[in-house]
């Protein structure tokens, strides 16, 4: 990994996020300096800067982490200074003690670092008297509160669009995989074509995981968010849809794998296989319809009527493909149950 990749992110944060962090930092500096005169309000500015996060819920969590870390770090620095006295090497002792205390309490890496940094700043910037320590704690709480208020009041972020995008991609790829499998059953396939069919089916797993992660991020962004009422229903429908599509992804991958393992060129001559291929195309239509009805894909549907109107009933196969046909039928039954919510 090069130096450039280490220093640069894959994409910039929103400019609005930068503006909100700047506003929160300036406001915290001014308010804390007015309420607690005499010292530069460094703790308040740092707290506000760190608390402005991509979501209000993350801001709240960062505020708690920052506040707990500062309180513990200030207490450790004050106790060491009152016990040992003032000296430059005391700062190093305070840092080590702070890290050990945080380790003993099983704190997160972020909180542990905050404990050590706060202890160091208290001893490096000024007095370690109880009054000074109390002022720094209050200053941090002011900065954290201002950071939360700014992030919640100024266009609080809602991560609904990425969830809708990833779910639409999953639905489209799932429907396409059903169509591709139907085509593979209807016409003879070469070995490279079967390999490609299997590869494309497996790609649905990371797409499903990405869609689920995006929906979870969207749900997390609504926590403590004043705008949550306008988007709660949308995300609830997306969550219900991903729970319906996820088992179908598993079934389609299994059907593709069974076809790959038991494929025979004479498979296309089996009447039952042709009927299964037709049912797969109907299932692909119903997947697109489910995605469309959840307002994930705004493209108009050619038909708003579900195509899987009745279970497929077949007679025993006339050839030696009964293992594959039985496997495909069972997976198709489960897909139908998910799409029709039976």
Distance, CA of 318 to CA of 76 (rounded, Å)? 81
Crossing angle of helices 42-51/130-153, nearest 10°? Answer: 30
Residue 196 token pair: 């490609």
Distance from C-alpha of 340 to C-alpha of 327, rounded to nearest angstrom: 20
pLDDT value at residue 330: 82
**Angle, CA of 313, 317 and 319, to the nearest 5°:** 165
Contact 31/149 with Cβ under 8 angstroms? Answer: no
For 238-301, give the DSSP string. HHHHHHHHHHHHHHHHHHHHHHHHS--GGGGG-HHHHHHHHHHHHHHHHHHHHHHHTTS--SPP
pTM over 0.85: no
Per-position pLDDT tens, the chain of length 342: 455 655 566 667 677 778 888 888 898 898 988 888 877 888 888 888 888 887 777 777 777 887 888 888 888 888 888 777 666 778 888 888 888 888 888 888 878 888 888 888 777 766 656 777 788 888 888 888 888 888 777 766 777 888 888 988 898 899 999 999 888 888 888 888 889 989 999 999 999 999 999 888 888 777 767 666 767 778 888 888 898 899 999 999 998 898 888 888 777 777 788 888 888 888 888 888 888 766 666 555 555 555 555 565 555 655 667 677 778 878 888 888 887 765
Q: CA end-to-end span of the chain, whole Å?
A: 50
Distance CA 308, CA 82 (A): 78
Position 269 scores a pLDDT of 76
For the chain, domain boundaries: 12-153, 161-339
């Amino acid at each position: 990994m090069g130096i450039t990749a280490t220093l640069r992110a894959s994409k910039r944060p929103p400019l609005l996020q930068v503006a909100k962090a700047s506003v929160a930092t300036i406001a915290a500096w001014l308010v804390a300096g007015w309420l607690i005169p005499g010292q530069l309000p460094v703790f308040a500015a740092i707290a506000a800067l760190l608390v402005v996060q991509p979501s209000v819920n993350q801001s709240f969590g960062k505020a708690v982490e920052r506040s707990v870390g500062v309180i513990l770090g200030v207490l450790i620095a004050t106790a060491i200074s009152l016990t040992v006295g003032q000296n430059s090497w005391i700062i190093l002792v305070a840092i080590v003690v702070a890290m050990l205390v945080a380790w003993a309490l099983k704190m997160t890496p972020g909180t542990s670092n905050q404990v050590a940094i706060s202890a160091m700043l208290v001893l490096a910037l000024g007095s370690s008297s109880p009054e000074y320590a109390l002022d720094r704690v209050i200053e941090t709480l002011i900065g954290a509160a201002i950071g939360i208020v700014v992030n919640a009041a100024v266009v609080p972020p809602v991560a609904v669009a990425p969830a809708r995008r990833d779910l639409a991609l999953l639905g489209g790829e799932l429907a396409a995989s059903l169509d591709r499998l139907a085509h593979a059953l209807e016409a003879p396939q070469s070995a490279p074509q079967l390999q490609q069919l299997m590869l494309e089916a497996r790609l649905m797993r990371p797409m499903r995981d990405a869609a689920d992660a995006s929906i979870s991020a969207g749900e997390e962004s609504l926590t403590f968010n004043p705008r949550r009422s306008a988007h709660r229903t949308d995300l609830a429908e997306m969550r219900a849809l991903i729970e319906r599509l996820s088992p179908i992804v598993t079934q389609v991958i299994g059907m593709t794998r069974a076809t790959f393992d038991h494929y025979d060129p004479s498979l296309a001559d089996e009447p039952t296989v042709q009927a299964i291929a037709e049912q797969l195309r109907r299932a692909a239509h119903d997947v697109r319809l489910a995605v469309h009805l959840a307002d994930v894909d705004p493209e108009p549907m050619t038909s708003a009527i579900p195509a899987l109107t009745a279970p497929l009933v077949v007679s025993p196969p006339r050839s030696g493909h009964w293992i594959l046909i039985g496997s495909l039928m069972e997976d198709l039954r489960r897909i139908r149950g998910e799409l029709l919510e039976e």
